[in-house]
Homo-oligomer: A and B are copies of this chain.
Amino acid sequence: MPVIITIDDVADPRIEAYRDIRERDLVGRQGCFVAEGRVVIEKVVSSADFRLNSVLVAAHRLESLADVLGRLDVDTPVFAASQAVVDAIAGFALHRGLLAIGRRADAPSAEALLGGLPARADILVLSGIANHDNMGGIFRNAAAFGVGAVILDSDCCDPLYRKAIRVSVGATLLVPFAQVDRGTDILDLLDCHGFATVALSPRGERELQHMAVADRNAVLFGAEGPGLSPELMGRAHTVRLSMAGGFDSLNVATTSGIVLHHLFAASR
């Protein structure tokens, strides 16, 4: 069990990283992220890919969270403060009573990630997914249906943004991901690793239920609205979902769930 450091003063410099948590996006600053609540922090603790810098807990929750705290490295600082002080530090009412600052131990390249996957694998490729809710929702589905990796283009938001982690129920900490540099030829990369690539689009050439399922499948999703670039669409097989007509509007995370369930069910 780590030593508990009591914080009485909102201005205490030791909890600087937690201050006004909604305003900051720690991501990109030394690769840190903010984790919130028991479920998410348990996933950080269980993962070899992430480390915790410190934890901030509402003092009255210390007992009920003892099992999680007991699994931290002994040298991880655990700051405890009254709920009022925690709320004042974070800048909002932190009902979960538990925050942590984490970091990614190692950000693998897309190349390394794809190279390490088994012969049978489904992966997602995301282009321009900038909405944290959608990013979190997609990762939650990816975890549920056993996706081996998620490849992000340079226009995607960070899956380790606090809200994306929360919406994903911690799945962004479970499913390996890599972001490629602008200009990377993703389709070429997928082809090199033996992936059959399909792009989802309302204008897709065939319906999902007629999609060929290979051993290694890569499914491409673009943002709602703009969708995938004509260049990507022209180079990949394209798939659409059959809809009732008149209201052809699906959320991209929901669409990923439908496609991943289909792939998962088809491969069993």
Contact = CB atoms under 8 A, between A and B. Distances in A.
Interface of A: 137, 140-141, 143-146, 169, 171, 174, 207-209, 241-245, 247-251, 253-255, 257-258, 261, 264-265, 268
A244 B120 CA distance: 14
Contact of A247 (B143, B208, B265): B143
A132 B247 CA distance: 20
A248 B140 CA distance: 9
Contacts of A250: 140-141, 144, 257
A268 B243 CA distance: 11
Nearest to A207: B265
A209 B258 CA distance: 12
Contact of A254 (B174, B257, B268): B257
A264 B240 CA distance: 14
Given A143-B247, A251-B257, 20 more contacts: A137-B251, A140-B251, A140-B254, A143-B249, A144-B247, A144-B248, A145-B244, A146-B245, A169-B249, A171-B249, A209-B265, A242-B264, A243-B264, A250-B257, A254-B254, A254-B257, A255-B257, A257-B257, A258-B258, A258-B261
Contacts of A243: 144-146, 264
Nearest to A250: B144
Contacts of A254: 137, 140-141, 253-254, 257
B268 A242 contact: yes
Contact of A265 (B140, B143, B174, B208): B208
Contacts of A145: 243-244
A68 to B, nearest CB: 18
B244 A146 contact: yes
A12 B169 CA distance: 45
A84 to B, nearest CB: 24
